[in-house]
Amino acid sequence: AQSVTQPDIHITVSEGASLELRCNYSYGATPYLFWYVQSPGQGLQLLLKYFSGDTLVQGIKGFEAEFKRSQSSFNLRKPSVHWSDAAEYFCAVAPGEYGNKLVFGAGTILRVKS
Amino acid sequence: DTGVSQNPRHKITKRGQNVTFRCDPISEHNRLYWYRQTLGQGPEFLTYFQNEAQLEKSRLLSDRFSAERPKGSFSTLEIQRTEQGDSAMYLCASSPDRVGNEKLFFGSGTQLSVL
């Protein structure tokens, strides 16, 4: 069965500092990987996705993520965090591009201090 | 495009009561999904529809849960004889075509509190 681990429940970074949120997955085949962001009172918004090809993927809002098969990881990064990035971030895996359901990690809450 | 709409935003009920939530997907989206999110956890898949057909149900969806999508438009999720463990955020999502996951649009959810 697929599973996703986000080791950090909370992360606090200073505005302008770099950010890395960790995600490890367990899946037998090549996974389809996603990062979503959820702000209070808002629905989940897709930041970026990896299906195949270049292992470094660019997303919205200046985020990027790198797929590392050898480490079963798909970490999310941003070079300079803005206060508006404070939210909860979820990594998710799907069994395929036509998969019917996503398996989400437990999420990482990002706090940004000024 | 008005996004995925869920009603109500909040529902407080007493244990044993029945509740029903509604989801209006984005127009023309033929896939509709229900997820449940409890505090401190990521969303968990419950069920999904392709048009009006319910194609998959999670084992999380007990006999007390039923979902419908008449005419392939809006969907309802009903919980009968609610229990305190049903307290959660119920999320609806829709997607336009077979490449579902990359274009999954989520609603803001219905927060259920069972007292």
Q: Which residues in chain A are closer than 8 Å to B51, comparing Cβ atoms?
A: none
Residue B68 clears pLDDT 90, i.e. is over it: yes
Phi then psi dihedrals of residue B103, to 5 deg? -120, 45
> Measured between CB atoms, does A40 come within 8 Å of chain B?
no
Q: Is beta strand A87-94 parallel, antiparallel or unpaired with respect to A32-38?
A: antiparallel
Q: Which residues in chain A are closer than 8 Å to B55, comparing Cβ atoms?
A: 100
How far off is chain B from A59, nearest CA to CA, in Å?
12
Instruction: Give the C-alpha separation, B109 to B91, whole Å.
Output: 4
pLDDT digits (tens, 9 = 90+) for A66-107: 999 999 999 999 999 999 999 999 999 987 655 568 899 999
CB atoms closer than 10 angstroms to residue B30: 16
The two structure tokens encoding residue B60: 């999380």
Q: Residue A19 corresponds to which amino acid? A: L
- Can you give the pLDDT at residue A54? 86
What is the Cα Rg of chain A in Å? 13
Q: Is the Cβ pair B3, A103 closer than 8 Å? A: no
Among A90, A97, A100, beta carbon nearest to B56: A100
| Best to test chain B binding among A6, A21, A23, A44 (most B CBs inside 10 Å) | A44
Q: Residue A51 corresponds to which amino acid? A: F
Residue A2 clears pLDDT 90, i.e. is over it: no
Q: What is the DSSP letter of B71?
A: G
* Nearest residue to A32 (alpha-carbon basis) of A53, A49, A10: A49
> Measured between CB atoms, does A101 come within 8 Å of chain B?
yes
Average pLDDT of chain B to the nearest whole number: 91
- Can you give the pLDDT at residue B1? 53
Q: Which residues in chain B are closer than 8 Å to A23, comparing Cβ atoms?
A: none
* Nearest residue to A91 (alpha-carbon basis) of A30, A24, A31: A24
Instruction: Give the C-alpha separation, A51 to A74, whole Å.
Output: 12
* Nearest residue to A80 (alpha-carbon basis) of A35, A22, A23, A13: A13
